[in-house]
Amino acid sequence: MPYDVPDYIDAYFTHQHDSLKPYLDKVLAGERFTYDDAVHLYNSPDLLGVGMLADLARKIRTPEAEQAYVWWVHNYHINPTNICEDTCHFCSFKKGPASPHAYFWAIDKVIADIHAYPEKDTLREFHIVAGHYKGADLAYYADLFKALRKEFPHVNVKGLTAAELDYIAKIEALPIEQVIQTLIDAGLQALPGGGAEVFAERIRKEVCPGKITGEEWLDIHGLAHSMGLKSNATMLAGLGETPEERVAHMISLREQQDKSGGFLSFIPLNCYYEGNRINPKYALTGFENLKNFAVSRLVLDNFPHIKAFWIHIGEKISQVGLNFGVDDIDGTVIQEKIAHAAGTQSSQGLTMRQLTHLIRQSGRLPVERDAFYNIVKVWDEVAMQDLVPAQVLKKAYSKST
C-alpha cells in the first residue's frame, strides 16, 4: 500500500532504533504481525518506537478523510443488578443476594431514571451488563430491551456479555442460539466485549473458574456474528498474565475475526484492586497500558477500532493513547458502576464538553458516533459552540437524580 512515511519516522527507525526497523517495513507492506513479532514488541523498551508503528498502522488502515477522527459515543450504562452467583476474583461489583448493598432494578425504575437524565434525547447507546442472577432471566431482559427500544428508539441497545448469555441459556435450559434470537427480536442490536478477561486457561482457572472458557467466549461471539449482531472484545490485563498470554489472547481474537468478521472494536482494560482478591502487585503501569494499545493495533489488523475505555485506563493515559493506535475513547459513560466499585479514579460520567476537549487537545477531531460507528456529528470548532457548558450540565444532572 503506497504511503508517504514522514521523514522523522524513517530517520527514527533507520538511524537510532534499528531493532524495530523490520516492523516498520511490515507495517508499510501491510504484512501480518506474527505471535513472535508481538512478543518482541511487548518486550521492547522502545515505547515511543512501538507507539509510532501503531500510529502509522492506524493511519495506513484508515481512509485519509478519517485519519484525524477520534470516535466517541454519548452512552448510558445500565447495570440492572449487582447480585451474582459467580465469584470472579477481580470483581468488586458483585454482591450476594442477602447483602444490604445488593440491588435488582425493576424495568420501570430503569426507564424512569433515563427519563430523568436531562440529555436523554441525544443519547446514542445503552451499554447493559450485570451480575449472573436468576431474577434477571430471559423474560426480564427481553422486556427491558423492548421497553428501551419503545421509549428511546434513537438509542442503540448493546447488552449482555457472552458470559451472561451463557448463564441465561443455562438457567433457562435453552440453546444459546434461541436466547440470542429472543433478545434480537426484543431489540438487542450489539454485544459488549466483556467476559473475555484473559483467554489463557492458566489465568481463568485461577481468577474466574466459574466463567466460560476463552474458546466458549469466542464461539458465542462467532454465533452472534452469524446471526447478524455486531460485537466488541476486551482483554482485562493486570491479572498476573504474561506478555505471551496477552499476545495469544489477541491472536485468538484475530482468528475469530477472520472467520466471523463481526467485531467492531478491541478494548484493552486494566484491573483495579479495591474490594477484590487480585494481588495489586500485578497493577499495570502507564507504560504497559500504552503497550497494550500499540501492540493490539499492530496485531489486530482486521479490527476496525482500538478503544481506550477511559473509565478503566484514566483520562490522561487514554488521551496519550491516541498516539499509540487508539481511535476511540468510548463515551460519556453516564452512571458507570463496575469499574468505580473497584476503585478507578476517573470521573463519573464525563460530560460531552470534557470529552471533546480531551480529544481536541490532542490535535485530533472528535467524531460522535452510534454503536455501529455511524457518524452522528463531527465536533469541529463551530459545533463546539453549541455544547452546554460543563458546569450547567453537571448541575442539572445532580438536581435530577
CB of 204 to ligand SF4, least distance (A): 11
In whole angstroms, how close is the CB of 89 to ligand SF4 at the nearest point? Answer: 9
The DSSP line for 80-91 is -B-B-S---TT-
Smallest CA-to-CA distance from 297 within 269, 264, 330, 326 is with 326
Please give the residues from 150 up to 169 whose contact with ligand SF4 meets the rule CB under 6 A: 163
Cα 41 to Cα 381: distance, rounded to the nearest angstrom: 38
**Binding status of residue 278 toward ligand SF4 by CB under 6 A:** no
**132 vs 158, beta carbon nearer ligand SF4:** 132
CB 145 within 8 A of CB 160: no
Q: State the minimum distance, in angstroms, from the CB of residue 338 to ligand SF4.
A: 8
Shorter beta-carbon distance to ligand SF4: residue 52 or 84: 84
Is residue 93 a contact residue for ligand SF4 (CB under 6 A)?
yes
Q: Hunting for cell 447480585 — which residue is that?
A: 83
Per rule CB under 6 A, is residue 86 in the interface with ligand SF4? yes
| Span from 58-66, 68-76, 87-95, 259-267 in contact with ligand SF4 (CB under 6 A) | 87-95
216 belongs to the binding site for ligand SF4 (CB under 6 A): no
Interface region with ligand SF4, contact rule CB under 6 A, candidates 83-91, 231-239, 264-272, 391-399: 83-91
Query: Binding-site residue total for ligand SF4 (CB under 6 A)?
Result: 10
Q: Is 325 in the site for ligand SF4 (CB under 6 A)?
A: no
Q: Please identify, using beta-carbon distances, which residue of 88 and 179 lies nearer to ligand SF4.
A: 88
Smallest separation, CB 31 to ligand SF4 (Å): 37
CA distance 102 to 366: 38
Give CA–CA dist 257/251, Å, rounded.
10
Nearest to 159 by CA among 266, 231, 261: 231
- Shortest spacing between CB 129 and ligand SF4, in angstroms: 8
* CB 88 to ligand SF4: min, Å: 3
Binding region for ligand SF4 (CB under 6 A) out of 15-23, 85-93, 97-105, 390-398: 85-93
20 vs 239, beta carbon nearer ligand SF4: 239
User: Helix (H, G, I), strand (E, B), or coil: what is residue 104?
Assistant: strand
Contacts of 210 (CB under 8 A, 6+ apart): 85, 86, 87, 88
Distance CA 96, CA 87 (A): 10
Residues ≥6 apart with Cβ < 8 Å to 151: 111, 114, 115
Q: Which of 52, 56, 88, 358 binds ligand SF4 (CB under 6 A)?
A: 88
Give the phi and the psi of residue 18 in degrees, each rounded to 5.
-70, -10
Residue 105 interacts with ligand SF4 (CB under 6 A)? Answer: no
Phi (first) and psi of residue 146, to 5 degrees: -60, -45
Q: What does DSSP say about strands 75-78 and 305-306: parallel, antiparallel, or unpaired?
A: unpaired
94 scored as a contact of ligand SF4 (CB under 6 A): yes
Do 249 and 198 touch, CB atoms closer than 8 A? Answer: yes
Give whichever of 90 and 145 is closer to ligand SF4, judged by the CB atom. 90
Which amino acid appears at position 183 of this protein?
A: L
Alpha-carbon distance of 12 to 24, in angstroms, equals: 10
CB of 249 to ligand SF4, least distance (A): 17
Distance of alpha carbon 314 from alpha carbon 31, whole angstroms: 32
Cα(273)–Cα(270) distance, integer angstroms: 10
Nearer residue to ligand SF4 within complex by CB, 66 or 86: 86
Per-residue contact flags (x/-) with ligand SF4 for residues 132 to 151, judged by CB under 6 A = x-------------------
Which CB, 41 or 162, lies closer to ligand SF4? 162
Whose Cβ is closer to ligand SF4: residue 144's or residue 295's? Answer: 144
- Our CB check for ligand SF4 shows the closer of 38 and 239 to be 239
Cell numbers linked to 65: 478523510
Element holding 355 (H helix, E strand): helix 352-361
Nearer to ligand SF4, 50 or 200 (CB): 200
Counting contacts by CB under 6 A, is residue 340 touching ligand SF4? Answer: no
CA-only gyration radius of the chain, Å: 21
By CB under 6 A, name the binding residues for ligand SF4.
84, 86-88, 91, 93-94, 131-132, 163
